[in-house]
Structure 1
């Protein structure tokens, strides 16, 4: 993630974004769900509390994408880069959704801008950060589980260069009480991986067959995980990801759904959607939302049954295997590692 300032290709000072509020869902995107007063409703998970706010503050957290560079300083380049991606995608989506001159399918350049936004959106949110944290915790506990005294000593020597009596005692206590500890990677790990993960997804998205489903009324909701994967016959044995999902759904606004299909569909590129299809999309949005569901203040209440949680991760394992918290179970802890407010020099 580190780039020397003189080599950074984007104009302006990226560190102006250090200490700022960062949106995990683009502000321009949330504005499609705002009413004539510029307000948007948020439904929280768990619990279902509903309140009204503005897109400027919805789905935002201070320094979520601030990372620590190789010199130990807080850096804002990722937030700046996301802003450039969002600006390009905003124009491309606007050319689809314009009430008079909307065009679909989009030209190649617009398709690339939208696919780039979707790729980054899939990997940038709190759910993805929590996935990385859960996997790191699980991996570390697997490595440490069952270490005897000699193995612990060798591990300390490998990592610290020495293994004195106090350090050995601490390690023994750690190994004996792993369930009392959580191993949480720094937010840098998530930010470092975002570009690599998004780049791998982009090719898959561009190869898909794009369709636009239009509804006669503003019926769609969205959430903090608006890139939804649909599989007609889901199976935990084959898994589900961007590469093998039958369809990828991305609500563009309350009355338009972008569908990226793995195989061609027997329908026109633009088609009218039924109320039943919209209800299915809304059920997915409510179920896979990590913390927040977004909707226009005039849209009806969210059915409480839709507020159930999807497991953070689906793992295939023997029945007797005890899985780390978060695998194959509804979410218990939604908190992700937070960057402490950096001190400006």
Structure 2
């Protein structure tokens, strides 16, 4: 007698999946989404108003409610959504769940201190911060810029193999004419990475995966909260890397190597995240000068908007150089193999190359000499391998 195979039970749906289904069934799929969460912007609100400053178009400044500020229609919509793909609405509901957990954690640590977090709350906060790095406009541009520069380097000197493989990946026939057309489009895609043909669904997938990877690196950092004398501003890219010289692209940076990351929590508190080999200095209140310096870093990190209390127009007055190009790359000789080369990709920051860029912002946070980053932990090495494969 042949035994019948038992049918596997259907996987239990997560609360965010049920919430997404309910929204779709009720015809209430959200059309807009905040670039930074509403609960976060509300921390700068006075009488339900915050000041928004356009850091790209002549520092135009105006007041809005947190519910309307930094809101973009169809930010997660996808015309290329196919059956079997995860719905963008599911992504939005999942992200809302992450933000909801983080809102409670941030309120708690502001009230009871950084050490009041449980292990789960620490994980929830790190996941939120990781996603806040990987879901933004700058992250979207960065992903496309890296891909475009990589394709340009691999297809240099008339090498068409990478272009043919890319066309196949896009589902196109790699005819000689299609390869020539793709090659001719590369300069435009380098100038404007959003022209790179990355589908919205693939973008959401990469955002969610890389956000989880970022959370691992953030979780290995030393956290501390500092009060400020003067009010802080924030921006649409609020998880910010600090470098000793903000005018120079660091050779080793990002979430593994950068000495310090910051995240403004409210107008008078900032979360500083120190590399795991750098102990967090004591809770010294930032002076007015230090806070102004930090505000200059925050303003320079804005992709488009800075946010502040309604009465605070500092973002209109801070000196900033022009916006940076969308991406950059450089070829290095491989020190381990003289016959090969290494290609470095990065997203230039607005302060890069400017002689007035902040140096060692918030001086007392920095050791006299910043050591080289420690050897990656096993989980960090695994994340690095995964990131390399995904690229």
**Pairwise same-fold verdict (TM > 0.5):** yes
RMSD between aligned alpha carbons? 3.5
Which secondary structure does the structure 1 equivalent of 2:116 belong to? Answer: coil
Match of 1:10 in 2: 15
Compared CA separation, residues 301 and 169, structure 1 to 2 (3 A)? same
Deviations 1:186-238 (A, max 9, x none): 22222101222122222222222111111245x10000010011122576462
1:211 aligns with 2:224: yes
Question: How many residues in Structure 1 have an aligned counterpart in Structure 2?
Answer: 314
Asked if the contact 1:66/1:78 (under 8 Å) is kept, the reply is no
1:179 aligns with 2:179: no
Instruction: Give the distance between the partners of 1:222 and 1:329, measured in 2 at CA.
Output: 16
Which secondary structure does the structure 2 equivalent of 1:205 belong to? Answer: helix
Deviations 1:237-283 (A, max 9, x none): 62320111111111100000111111344733x33221122112111
Match of 1:276 in 2: 289
Instruction: Give the distance between the partners of 2:153 and 2:288, measured in 1 at CA.
Output: 47
Which secondary structure does the structure 1 equivalent of 2:261 belong to? Answer: strand
Match of 1:292 in 2: 305
Match of 1:229 in 2: 241
Q: Which stretches of structure 1, 4 residues or more, deviate above 6 A after TM superposition?
A: 148-163
Pick one of 16, 26, 47 that aligns with 2:37: 26
Match of 1:139 in 2: 150
- Comparing 235-244 and 42-51, the one that deviates more: 235-244
Deviations 1:37-87 (A, max 9, x none): 201111112121111111112122223234525446853111111111111
Instruction: Give the distance between the partners of 2:165 and 2:219, measured in 1 at CA.
Output: 48
Match of 1:267 in 2: 281
Deviations 1:84-142 (A, max 9, x none): 111111111111224xxx33323223322222211111111110001112223333444
Unaligned runs of 5+ in 2: 1-9, 190-194, 333-342, 352-391
Match of 2:99 in 1: 86
Instruction: Give the distance between the partners of 2:185 and 2:285, measured in 1 at CA.
Output: 57
Instruction: Give the distance between the partners of 1:124 and 1:149, measured in 2 at CA.
Output: 32
Q: What is the TM-score normalised by the length of structure 1?
A: 0.77
